[in-house]
Amino acid sequence: MEQYSLFVWDLEQFSVFMDQPGGFLALVGTFLTQFCHFPSLGALFIAFFLWLLAFLIRTAFRLGESRWLISFIPSIFLLLFICRLDYSVFILKTYGMLFSQILGLISAVSIIFIYRKWFESGNHQIIFILSSVFVFFPIIGIYAMIPAVFVALDRKDKKVVSFLAAVIICICAPLLCSFLPDIYQRINRKYVFMAGLPYMEFQDNIICMIPLFLAILSTIIIPFTKKVSLRFSVLSLTVSVVLLFAFTNWDYNFKTVLSMERAICCNDWNAILRLANQQQQPTRVQVLYRNIALFQKGRLTEDMFKYPDGSASLRTRSIIPISYICAAPVLHYCGMVNSCDRLVMETSASFSKNIYFYKYQARNAMLRGEYELARKYITIVSRNW
């Protein structure tokens, strides 16, 4: 995910994030994705933000001793959303997806916490609903509607008025943003009510977003489960954990491909050959990476038939050509640098620009002797490199 992401301290790059509602989540999410260069550090950040979400839910919704366990349910569903990602990570169009949805729910619950702290008493609820959606929808997208829905349902008096106000404002704010093309240049009116969600990745596979929808729905429901017993809380948490383990993507071939990708980045050809021996039904991607490693070791013709061979299908709900996954390293290490450059440029235009492609463009330029062009690619992230 870190290699297929790009964060640059640049005003132009900032405008790319902020030209649609919810862009701030993608901006911060992309920044945090950089830390996944060290997998343990990236996992630590994810665990911390999931714990922070559970802590805020328990605090903002004032969950007692019998209900505090259910505060972890939205975090578990968000973790399931991440764990169900498959080969689609190679063709992402959404920036910072690894962290952005967690940050969206954290932002929504934080707004509710502010409401509970300073605006719950008095007659400021309607004003809070109006201001929270109008102010925060451009920043965090659809997640700004969660506090409005909560405030409307939480009111003891004038509940109908509050609910109508919440419905009207939740419809008007997105529509207003959709009619501001000079400010939001990348907004799609068809998906304006999904701003802040990774809808571009799952337009044809909306089922992949079910864990995310469950996380949002459970966050809205939790504060109104006031008569829940400790036994029910334990049961609910247990069911969510079982769902996590049951529907996580346990595809070993996918994990092997990711490990091989990392080994290629480090020029660790021995690691690729070790991984190639561990799976008896490899995909064509694994076979191609194995052959590249053997070629780099000078043992291709002697040893290529000593390793498991196969053509297992990619376990993914998306239609992903193998060329999107492995063509860049295959073409580069086979010496077809011009073809590699062309493929990388076309793929970047279709999906998103990222460090992974810029690395191959820099390597190809150096092999052709175009050192100034290589320097241009290398210094995109840091001018001092």
Q: Where among 232, 247, 262 does a domain terminate?
A: 247
Query: What is the predicted pLDDT for the residue at 366?
Result: 92
Q: Where among 247, 275, 305 does a domain terminate?
A: 247
Query: What is the predicted pLDDT for the residue at 173?
Result: 83
Query: What is the predicted pLDDT for the residue at 340?
Result: 92
Residues 294 and 223 in one domain: no
**Is residue 368 in some structural domain?**
yes
**Is residue 383 in some structural domain?**
no
**Is residue 385 in some structural domain?**
no
Residues 228 and 85 in one domain: yes
SS3 at position 283: strand
Residues 161 and 201 in one domain: yes
For the segment 23-58, what is each residue's pLDDT rounded down to a tens digit?
Answer: 899 999 999 998 988 889 999 999 999 999 999 999
Query: What is the predicted pLDDT for the residue at 384?
Result: 58
Residues 38 and 159 in one domain: yes
For the segment 111-162, what is each residue's pLDDT rounded down to a tens digit?
Answer: 999 988 887 776 677 777 778 888 898 899 899 999 988 888 877 666 677 7
- N-terminal to C-terminal alpha carbon distance within the chain: 22
Residues 40 and 185 in one domain: yes
- In this prediction, the residues of the chain whose per-residue pLDDT falls under 50 are none
Q: Which amino acid is at 181?
A: P
Query: What is the predicted pLDDT for the residue at 165?
Result: 77
Residues 277 and 225 in one domain: no
**Is residue 3 in some structural domain?**
no
Q: How many domains does the chain have?
A: 2
All residues at 6 or more sequence positions from 43 whose CB lies less than 8 Å from its CB, including other chains: none
Range of the domain at 310: 252-378
Residues 243 and 265 in one domain: no
Enter the pTM of the model. 0.90
Number of H helices, E strands in the chain: 18, 0
Residues 33 and 125 in one domain: yes
Residues 32 and 168 in one domain: yes
Residues 117 and 19 in one domain: yes
Residues 343 and 239 in one domain: no
356/381 Cα distance (integer angstroms): 12
